[in-house]
Amino acid sequence: MPLLHAYLSDVRTLLTGGSAGVLQLMYPPLGAAVAAQSDFFGDPFGRVYRSVPQIWATVLAPDGPERARRIRDLHRGIQGSDGAGRPYHALDPETFWWAHATFTWEVFEAIRLFFRGGLGALDRDRLYAETIRWYELYGVSSRPVPATYREFTAKFDGICSHTLEMTPAARRTLDMALAGEWRPPLVRRNFRDPLTRGAGRLVVIGSLPAGLRARFAIRWTRWDERRFRLLCASFRHGFRIVPPPVHRRALGFGLRSVGVLTRRERFVPPR
């Protein structure tokens, strides 16, 4: 999976991770499952820091397939009912696929926003095919997986328009983002300076699909949009002066460091 490996090795693909997390939490089964973790509302972003290094390692690490199967097996006992009495199970194919779909969306959206030149049609289709192979590493049913990128975007947009809900878990995370309490990727402690807090809010809210922001009346002004576009441009042009090996090594070091720091905090399902 050479294209996927190259993009997941670039720190910019993590910038849309906060938005991907919100999209996961808006999916009712996922929102309910995550909210059931006792520490979620006290530390919503802790889940991201525990999860991302392991998920990225399924592609970047030599033992990626084994890691993917371990991630799948951790979800076997995650089940219950949401606030509306609807049952959920983490290994339900549609639910498990949606979590993966948000990561697929995260990569494509990061390329659109933060990379110069974007993707041509051939590379777009190649990259999407590689995300399918990524999903197949988990050994979960591929029945929900759209066969082409065009079908993926149609299904993804349909879920955003008709299925996602403002779950309590999503509301909590959005409130933190709107208040500027979002933490940048790989930084476990909240920044307190206004510049970084404001940039975090712009990235998390600005990267969300515009239709979703409108559907749930998430606050977003024209001034926000202008500042977000300027921020995206700064990443696109600023990374021209950073040699790719430098930020790729930095990302690898960061992922390994956070993986070590969060090892004792990772979710272990009840027996």
The mean pLDDT value for 22-28 works out to 92
* Biggest CA-to-CA distance, the chain: 53
Residues 192 and 179: beta-carbon distance below 8 Å? no
Hey, what are 96's tokens?
A: 């498990």
16, 70, 179, 242, 247 from 8: Cα distances, Å: 12, 20, 29, 17, 12
- 3-state class of 185 per DSSP? coil
66, 116, 229 from 113: Cα distances, Å: 32, 8, 8
Model pLDDT for residues 178-229, shown as the tens digit of each residue: 776 665 544 545 444 444 456 778 888 999 999 999 999 999 999 999 999 9
| Cβ-proximal residues to 176 (8 Å cutoff; 6+ apart), any chain | 44, 45, 182
Phi, psi (rounded to 5 degrees) for 149: -65, -40
Side chain identity, residue 1: M
Model pLDDT for residues 85-127, shown as the tens digit of each residue: 788 888 889 999 999 999 999 999 999 999 888 788 888 899 9
**52 or 156: which leads in pLDDT:** 156
The per-residue pLDDT of the chain, averaged, comes to 81
Among all chains, which residue has been given the structure tokens 């802790």? Answer: 46
Domain residue spans in the chain? 2-265
Phi, psi (rounded to 5 degrees) for 84: -95, 5
Secondary structure letter of residue 191 according to DSSP: P
Among all chains, which residue has been given the structure tokens 């999503």? Answer: 170
The mean pLDDT value for 244-252 works out to 67
Residues 160 and 23: beta-carbon distance below 8 Å? yes
Hey, what are 177's tokens?
A: 């983002």
Range with lowest mean pLDDT among 18-22, 40-44, 134-138, 160-164 = 40-44
Hey, what are 205's tokens?
A: 């809210």
Determine what percent of the chain is predicted with pLDDT higher than 70: 78
Whole-prediction pTM: 0.85
List, in sequence order, every residue forming a beta bridge with 79; answer none if it has no partner: 89
Among all chains, which residue has been given the structure tokens 């949401």? Answer: 82
The two beta strands, 79-81 and 87-89, are antiparallel
- Helices then strands, each counted (H, E), the chain: 13, 2
